[in-house]
Structure 1
């Protein structure tokens, strides 16, 4: 039960890492149960682990530091999943664009597995340079940027700043995840199909953007694209 204090025997010398892991696990469980970071306190975590509040402060300076550590752990799991998706590049018949789409979908799926944690980790106030930001930059973002760089190197995407293009994809993936989590009652239909359509438009849109000249007007581009689509359908 939430808040129930457990009996804890004196830990053997050198078991600080184990206690730290237990504290993180208890905090994660409480966040999942309550869905609200404000509902989790140092005292409630201590009661769940079976220690006194001062024992928590031996490992974390305050509640914010504890929550940051939980988020870091969360993003480390995301990193593992994104690395697994990167292996998709070696599959026969797959393209770099397929990999980029798969990475975006993996991000959305990961967010939807534990929406409470995702909301707390990504929708709260940011702290530039924090461990959370550094860990996120080493997981989802760095993998997306590597895929974008490969697409630029192969001439599939137009020359440009891979960081900016990766940020655009990350924004799209986060936007989909955030809306599905915060507004689940909207008529999304199949959420997997919805996410894939948004990410497909983003990924292939950059291929098309390579054909756009600075002098082209929106009307000219629409006409050209319509003619291209019509020609493809006539084949």
Structure 2
């Protein structure tokens, strides 16, 4: 199953790669060169479509749990100053997506969308310390009665050139449901209250919509 954001790109890529093979078979007489071009174009197409995988995930709904919004590796768990919405200190959990990860963003909690804003910006590498504040990004805050307000931020990287965000203010969203997509990358940060029990460790691999990264009790 593929994400809807990838259909146009996959169609264009398929057309271009087919055209390359038609040209090669028309004008190249050496068989092994034509075969090599065919193999390379097939590999390229497979690499492109794997970016847009959208596997179905069955999230165990729990208003006290915060689930990973994306697939990837936990690269930071630290106390930071969240300057955009809370304007106070929060625990930031950063999850980095490699090119082979699923790039669908999912709602870490269910509830009501309180805030949703897109910020144009730079395309620093995702692990750069300033990428959370200077890169192209979207910030979303969802609230429910148990977890309170949880902020997550999609951050573009050096490869990612477009962030897609479906969350709109006043939407009622379901935990683990599709909230957006980062084309070809790269990182999502989650901001939680300082006293939140964190259930993941640095370098741990997580699955979006499945892995519980924190639990906020009533």
Greater helix percent: which structure? Answer: 1
Please give the TM-score of this superposition, normalised by the length of structure 2: 0.27
Higher relative contact order (CA 8 A, sep 6+): 2
TM-score, normalised with respect to structure 1 = 0.25
